[in-house]
Amino acid sequence: MTGPGTARRGDTGAGPPTVALVGANGHGRWHRRAIAPLHAAGRVRLAGLVDVRPLEDEPAAPVPPGARIFTDHRAMLAAVRPDVVVVCTPPHTHLPIALDALAAGTDLLLEKPPVLDLAKKIALT
């Protein structure tokens, strides 16, 4: 994880941090609407969207030019190398996606619950 004042893995000083959203349909559309004004203002760059289904239209958060669309989060992590990953997928998928994102060196915003099994939670601590 990175903190204030530390360089992000994709930070070249040439632009805003890159963000990817895993789970871009359903409740993920809320995240798309939250990210859209930040992207429009140049505060972040929405670089990747991941969903196993075709993206639903979201007039309040259209897919910006240059944003790549994937059906697999691992392919997105390798191709986009985002600074931040937002995970908004069904709860039983949270842990493996979150671990892959952290292993790739990204910062992480993970919808709750992080795990459904107390044993997995204990293993993480």
Alpha helices, H only, 9-125: 28-40, 73-80, 94-103, 118-124
* pLDDT reported for residue 90: 94
pTM: 0.85
CA–CA distance, 83 with 8 (Å, rounded to integer): 6
* pLDDT reported for residue 81: 98
pLDDT in tens, 30-87: 999 999 999 999 999 999 999 999 999 999 999 999 999 999 999 999 999 999 999 9
- From residue 1, alpha-carbon distances to 28, 30, 49, 72, 105 in Å are 23, 25, 21, 22, 7
pLDDT in tens, 1-16: 344 334 455 555 679 9
Residue 109 reports pLDDT greater than 60: yes
Q: Between 41 and 123, whose confidence is greater?
A: 41
Q: Between 25 and 114, whose confidence is greater?
A: 25
CA–CA distance, 5 with 58 (Å, rounded to integer): 34
CA–CA distance, 9 with 78 (Å, rounded to integer): 12
